[in-house]
Amino acid sequence: MRLMMLAVVTAVSLLLSGCATTGARQKDIEIQRLNNQLSALNAQVQAKDEEIAGLRDELGRAHEQSVSAVDTGENREVKSRPSVKQIQKALKNAGYNPGSIDGKFGRQTREAIKDYQRANNLKPDGKVGKKTWKSLRKYL
């Protein structure tokens, strides 16, 4: 009887210790998963902070240039054929989001051009021709 009781207690102890170990492993795995997610989120926050700092620098430079142009009475001549950066800046100043002012003619820039063209009764083809540029260049 005692031997049987000892065997039952031993078996129950082994079962319970196995459950505790499995539970602890699952918790460790969950903690690791959460730590990985936290690391990924921290990296995203850091990237956004760097993007914000870059935008602040760009805004400061743009402000300095506009103050300098006003102070010197400088008239900015715009080429008859605008650069992509000029188009992006004019779109942004007109209230249309071309994405980053990076000189690359991407999907977001093309969509901003189409939106601008629609709002100004121009053919919404996503291209900056003479009529579109004539209307848009005043926003530089």
How far is CA 133 from each of CA 7, 33, 52, 116, 137, rounded to the nearest angstrom? 90, 52, 30, 11, 6
Percent of the chain with pLDDT over 70: 75
> Do 113 and 55 share a structural domain?
no
Q: In this predicted structure, what is the pLDDT of residue 67?
A: 65
Domain count, the chain: 2
pLDDT tens string 1-42: 766 666 666 666 666 665 556 677 888 899 899 888 878 777
Q: How far is CA 138 from CA 60, 65, 90, 101, in A?
A: 21, 17, 8, 17
Classify residue 6: in a domain, yes or no. Answer: no
Q: What is the CATH number of the domain that holds 86?
A: 1.10.101.10
**pLDDT one-digit tens code per residue, 47-71:** 888 888 778 778 777 777 776 665 5
Domain co-membership, 137 together with 109: yes
Please check the confidence at residue 89 and state whether its pLDDT lies above 90. yes
pTM > 0.75: no
